[in-house]
Amino acid sequence: MSAPTNATRTVLAGATVVRPSGVVEAGRVTVEGGRIAAGLRDEAESAEVFDLTGHWVLPGFVDLHVHGGGGASFSAGSAEEALRVVETHRAHGTTTMVASTVTGELGDLADQAAALADLVEQGELAGVHFEGPFIARNRCGAHQPALLRDPDPSDVRKLLDAARGTARMVTLAPELPGGLDSVRLLRDAGVIAAVGHTDADYETTRWAVDAGATVATHLFNAMPPLAHRAPGPVAALLEDERVTVELIDDGVHLHPAALRLARAAAGPDRVALITDAMGAAGMGDGTYPLGPLTVEVVDGVARLRDVGAIAGSTLTLDVAFRRAVTVNGVSVPDAVRALSVNPARLLGLDHRIGSIEEGKDADLVVFDADFALVGVMRRGEWVVRPCP
């Protein structure tokens, strides 16, 4: 590897590169000015060249649903903590992320949204995701039941206003009073309406999708199971081409057969792998806050201290990628769709990120032959620099 001190470009050479046109062996990616360049100019003296023979170069990962990491949480309402979450997940390959909140008092959520909006405007985050408080009590999971409320459109509007145009997604239970009206409000506001933490039946879920819902929040989890006489939300969300389904591939939230079923039913273009990570991601076992609740992490599994319910994950997307490919048998291109292409498209950011194409942001991840992460680049700058 050559490293000229006056380099104006970076070249990743010799790797297997996953591009929209297909997998390119012994490929070459040129980065200039924070973007992916054509790479046709003479590189003799002006480029820093990394020989990545035997490695993979993929587009940076996009996480639609993440609450925390590095011992910090987006729900803390602190820019310092939020940036610690961002830095933790970036070091694991997530170059774009949406900050997810946890159920709280409406005023507290508004304050959190205002603080997170500053970081969105600074380019550190891609938006804000409100997961709760508009969810079903029977499916609340790691959300405080006493703080739940029906999705009154006026309350939904208050949170959107607090986020100052940075709200990207709201998870709600459409069967609750005001649910379908709130889905329509979100659709008209250009915000993703996600069905999750719900007791909705099949028909109500279909109505929600017709009203504008386009995401299944962590499919299977916190919703009625698929049954042959009561197919519920799982069937409705999987069968509708308008819906992207979130899946948590951490070996805890979903049985491998459920993952296979979801991928087979939805197809490669409608699956988004997420972390749903809480503060313990990138850390070790111990006790962590999740909004107003306390979570204990044992052997990497996060559960509420009082009731034992699963409380998010400790997952990072590099691990999700490696599991998808090496454990679940997903092809590398299909894994890239689920981790980069599909979530970027859903967020309306696919003109800038999500694939390795000329002119797009140079958000890249580098994996070795064993699918261990060895390099992360964001907007042309190394977050994790590959060793020579």
Q: Which residues are catalytic?
A: 276
User: Whose CA is closest to 161, among 131, 133, 189?
Assistant: 189
Do the beta carbons of residue 360 and residue 35 sit within 8 Å? yes
Give the C-alpha distances (Å, rounded to integers) separating 195 from 134, 236, 386.
Answer: 10, 11, 40
Torsion on CA atoms 173, 177, 178, 182, rounded to nearest 10: 0
First vs last C-alpha separation in the chain: 6
Token pair recorded at residue 319 = 């691990």
Beta strands in 40-119 (DSSP E): 47-51, 56-59, 61-66, 68-69, 72-73, 94-101
CA 92 to chain centre: 13
Rounded Cα–Cα distance for residues 216 and 214 (Å): 7
